[in-house]
Structures are given as C-alpha cells and as structure tokens.
Amino acid sequence: MKKWTKEEALETLQKLAHEADTLRHSQVFSTEHTIWVTKCLDTLEEIFGLESRYYLSFDVIQWGNIPSGTMIKRYGDIQSDINSKRHKFFIRDLGIAKGLLLGAISYLKDREIADVYIKEESGIEASLVLKVLNIAEQKLRKVIREKPENEKQVQVAFENLLIGADIQYGREVDSIEYSSKTYTPDFSLEKIDLVVEIKLCNRGEREKELPEEINDDILAYKTKYKNLIFIVYDLGFIRDKDRFCGSFEEHENVSVKVIKH
C-alpha cells in the first residue's frame, strides 16, 4: 500500500475532484468513469482507511440509479427517456462524489496525514453507523406501504429492517435522567455507542414542534451516547428538508434524516 505525504494526498484528491467535472459528458460505467471510480476508491482507502466514512460513503454511491417512483414515458422512445433520466442521476451522483472528495480535502487540511487513517476499531463503529443510516434512507420508505397513523408503526418497520440486517439493538431498554425528565430512546446500539430515535411528522404543527423536541433529546442522549440518529418520517408537511436537517449540523456525531412517504 502506498505511503502518502499530506501534500501528495491533497494534490491527488484535488485532481480527482476536478476530474469529476470532466466526466459530466461521459456515460455511467464507461471506461473513463470506471477508471476514475477505481482511482478514487484506491486513494480513499490508502489515505483514510477501508472503514473510513469517506471510503464507505463513496463506495455505496449507486451510479445513475433511477429511484423508484420516477416517471418514465409509456409511449414513444421509452429507452431514450430512460437513458436521459439515468444520465441526470449520474450527474447528481458525480456531484455527491465530488462533494465527498472536497470534504476529505477539507478534513485532511486541518490534520496530519497519520491522524486521518481509521483503524479497525473506529472503522467498525463508523461502518455500522453508516449501515444504520443507509437502512433508514434506502429501505424504510419501501417497507411502509400505507401512511402510518402513529410513530409506533414506523418504529416496528424500522425494527424489522434491523432484524433483517442482523444488527443487534435494544428497544426502549434505557432510561436517561436529564433536567428533571426521563428520556427513553427508541433504539440503542451499545456496540457502536448509538441511539436511534423515530419521529413522525403527521400534521403541519409538527414541523415547528420537532426541532425543539429533537434538540431536547440531543442534550439528554449526549450525556450517555456518542452517536445519535433521528429519523423523521414525514407525511408531506416538511417543506424544505435540507433546511430542516441543516439546523442540527452544529451538533457533532448527530444525524437527522427526513424520510418522505
């Protein structure tokens, strides 16, 4: 495995980020795209480690995948419409990949090269946290066919996904005393120091109530757990999910994901 200097690593990552723009007129999994993806994965593995968030996040990009529910022409040149939409999502994925590379550059600039490589123990934690996030983002909506009437229905669906992924967890088994109140997380994964909390946004008022509710939970759960994931299942009342989630970015190791029904 190549031994990198900080200068070499920054230069290579910057070059790969720039090459993402040159691929916009290419096709998904063309020769040049495949070579670039391979270079990116090799570089991220050697600099940050096989279990780092940068490698793992890049590795799960589903290049040009057309999300379920996307409208496709039923008549005329159907294949042309499919190819057009696949390229549209390919461009989106290139933007995601470039963002990961730029994030890796920003992270490395403030640290020594030896300090950014994720060792096995830390990698296991990062890998499992990412796996739980991917389950929420990619599978939860698919297993909820009818609009849920309460949070418990969403919790049951998420619990089934954890069971299917063979992830060990505790369900409402912990109680945390904080500021004269008792907080009980929906799911706790002690192996990776993680709490997962499910919220349901089923009316307009909940969009305004949830940020304060989540912030209270963060303060309480952070007294005991390092990693927190909040899954907000929205029935169409959160207008700008990026803005909603962005209000929690100041909290370290806290992820808030809005899943649209």
147 and 57 fall within a common domain:
no
Nearest Cα residue to 223 out of 174, 165, 163, 157: 174
pLDDT tens-digit map of 166-210: 899 999 998 898 888 999 999 999 888 899 999 999 998 999 999
Same domain for 126 and 236, yes or no, is: yes
- For residue range 91-103, list pLDDT tens digits in order: 999 999 999 999 9
CA–CA gap between residue 235 and residue 147 (Å, rounded): 7
Instruction: Considering only residues 175 and 119, tell me which one the structure prediction assigns the higher pLDDT.
Output: 175
Give pTM, 2 decimals: 0.56
Taking only the tens place, the pLDDT of each residue in 6-22 is 999 999 999 999 999 99
Residue 230's beta-bridge partner residues?
A: 197, 256
Separation between Cα atoms, residue 18 and residue 247, nearest integer Å: 30
Asked if residue 41 has pLDDT above 70, the reply is: yes
Residues 133 and 95 in one domain: no
Do the domain assignments include residue 127? yes
1: in domain: no
Same domain, 144 and 248: yes
Range of lowest pLDDT (64-68, 145-149, 206-210): 64-68
Question: What is the spatial distance between Cα 2 and Cα 179, in angstroms, rounded to a whole number?
Answer: 51
Number of domains composing the chain: 2
Domain with 87, as residue range(s), is: 6-118
Cα distance between residue 114 and residue 118, in whole Å = 9
Q: What gap in Å lies between CA 76 and CA 79, rounded to an integer? A: 9
